[in-house]
Amino acid sequence: MRALDFQSPTLRRGTFQLAVGVIAPRPGRITVLIGPNGGGKTTALRLAAGLLTPDTGSVVIDGEPVHALSALQRAARLALVTQRPDVGAPFSVREVAALGRIALPTDAQRVERALQRVGLAALADRPYHSLSGGQQQRVAVARALAQHEPGGVLLLDEAFAAVDPPEAAAIVRAVREEAAAGATVLAATHDMAVASAIADDVWCIVAG
């Protein structure tokens, strides 16, 4: 199991400042990061994903600063679900899900399994842009599942926003399966109902 640790990272951008203490989400559990929109949840996840470099402190995975890892090393250890990522090319649903393997060995079976887990196997050949917003969000989750290694770190940024209850249930089911298999799951949301429905542990951002 991968160990993700926040070691007092800070980040300042203009008048915005984020400061996180010494804290670590626990493997095998779903930790929910809750706070208002604009409060710093996405920034915290981007720090955890190595997409931002902290001004001070660090976020480490297995003892190594995440931002110092190569793209390939990060892809093998963690996966990030963003809110309905923009896909410029005219890809099919299957092709978008397969982007999760772009830095990793090709694994068609894992991609198909990921689509099955979020209930999109029947739409695999449909154009991605023909899907509803909620369906596109499930494709984003499938892409992360296709990438995610057992026991790795799974980061979700408002993955339940703008999806209807059946779609949310499919995402929750898949995320719970990952946690049960030993994944470290850190999910950001502004929705208390979502937090209460999925969280094993809760972190609060009081102010950005």
pLDDT at position 207 is 60
With pLDDT > 90 as the criterion, what percentage of the chain qualifies? Answer: 70
How far is 126 from 40, CA to CA, in rounded Å? 35
pLDDT at position 123 is 97
How far is 60 from 6, CA to CA, in rounded Å? 7
Q: What is the pLDDT of residues 17-40, one digit of tens each?
A: 899 989 999 999 999 999 888 889
Placement of tokens 């920034």 in the chain: 43
Q: Is the CB of residue 139 less than 8 Å from the CB of residue 96? A: yes
The least confident of 51-60, 93-102, 135-144, 163-172 is 163-172
Residue closest to 184 by CA, chosen among 6, 22, 23, 25: 25
Q: Is the CB of residue 144 less than 8 Å from the CB of residue 115? A: no
Q: Is the pLDDT at 165 greater than 70, yes or no?
A: yes
Q: What is the mean pLDDT of the chain?
A: 92
With pLDDT > 70 as the criterion, what percentage of the chain qualifies? Answer: 98
Residue closest to 139 by CA, chosen among 166, 102, 103, 167: 167
pLDDT at position 80 is 95
The mean pLDDT value for 7-13 works out to 94
173 sits in which H/E element = helix 165-180
116 sits in which H/E element = helix 108-117
CA distances from 19 to 8, 16, 44, 92, 193 (A): 7, 10, 9, 40, 26
Q: Is the pLDDT at 192 greater than 80, yes or no?
A: yes
Reported confidence tier of residue 84, pLDDT bands at 50, 70, 90: low
Q: Is the pLDDT at 196 greater than 70, yes or no?
A: yes
Domains contained in the chain, CATH given: 4-204 (3.40.50.300)
Q: Is the pLDDT at 105 greater than 90, yes or no?
A: no
Structure tokens at 134: 């909620």
Reported confidence tier of residue 208, pLDDT bands at 50, 70, 90: very low
Structure tokens at 160: 């339940």
